[in-house]
Amino acid sequence: MTFVRLGTRRSALAMSQSSWVADRVRALGHDVELVEITTEGDVSGELLTAIGGTGVFAAAIRHAVRERRIDCAVHSLKDLPTAPEEDLLIAAIPTREDSRDVLVARDGLTLGELPPGSVVGTGSPRRAAQLAALGLGLEVRPIRGNVDTRLGLVTSGALDAVVLARAGLARLGRLAHVTEVLDPIQVLPAAGQGALAAECRADRADVIAALAPLDDIDTRTCVSAERAVLAALEAGCTAPIGALAEVVDGEDGLELSLRAVVGTEDGATLLRRSLVGPYTEPEALGARLAQILLEDGAADLRGPTPADTHPPEHVS
């Protein structure tokens, strides 16, 4: 048996995610203690773009891992920077929740039923770009806050609708609020959306062994392809990015079907491309798709800057 101090942010969603992992580690016969960590993103009232983006959530917990105050951290994978950390290891990526985005709208309306001029809130330039590209005449407004805060903007009448990740609502038991699950053909999710990452020090063989049974190979393969797209595109453009990989049956066995989108936040330009490749080469597939997007003009698209009003993806 291994004793694992599992670090988590204090938000309801982060606690739910970390407790889910903790329960599964305990079921494997280990002793787990949840340790709450406060991050700069939790205490700052500024937009996240002004204080360093989604990485501010991961930085404090990673620091606690490095200092040995905790043995493991649980992250929302979509909020984890793609740059590798040599002294840290993602020991497990459990089976992914549904990766799609959802609409929560007044009066049970779907996206197509919202009248032109309806105000839709989102904390994501990626979602804003794809919503605008649909040409529905919606006004997309930037918002920040946890899941319940965003849901409250609809119930209070402040907004006509919000777009959120289905995974977060599922983990919080809030799926009853969903009025439509958005097809990725309309709104492609963020790379890694719906997946969790259990991260520890690379030199902790005992913790790595305790977490390893939670790893889901299909989920790890898919998110590796998606994050490879993101890593390559982040190096070559600043526009909003979405990516989704799925395992499919090919003529010679399992393959990966990978889609990605890059666009301007106003939706005026939206590049969608896809590739199918070997299941065993997710990073190479992601890099190839990113290169196609860059060659087709992604490098010339400009995304939001720190002075802009949209915060990034994180809602927990």
253-263/241-250 β-pairing: antiparallel
Nearest of 252, 254, 261, 266 to residue 297 by alpha carbon:
261
Q: How far is CA 292 from the centre of its chain?
A: 23
The Cβ of residue 25 has, within 10 Å, a number of other Cβ atoms equal to: 22
The Cβ of residue 204 has, within 10 Å, a number of other Cβ atoms equal to: 20
Active site residue 79: yes
- How far is it, in rounded angstroms, from Cα 14 to Cα 127? 22
Q: Which amino acid is at 193?
A: Q
- How far is it, in rounded angstroms, from Cα 68 to Cα 88? 12
CB distance 289 to 258 below 8 Å? yes
Strand partners, 8: 36
CB-based contacts of 39, cutoff 8 Å, min separation 6: 9, 56, 57, 59, 60, 61
Q: Which of 42, 71, 79, 160 is catalytic?
A: 79
The 3-state DSSP class for residue 117 equals coil
Output the six-digit token pair for 131: 């919503």
3-8/31-36 β-pairing: parallel
Enumerate the active-site residues: 79
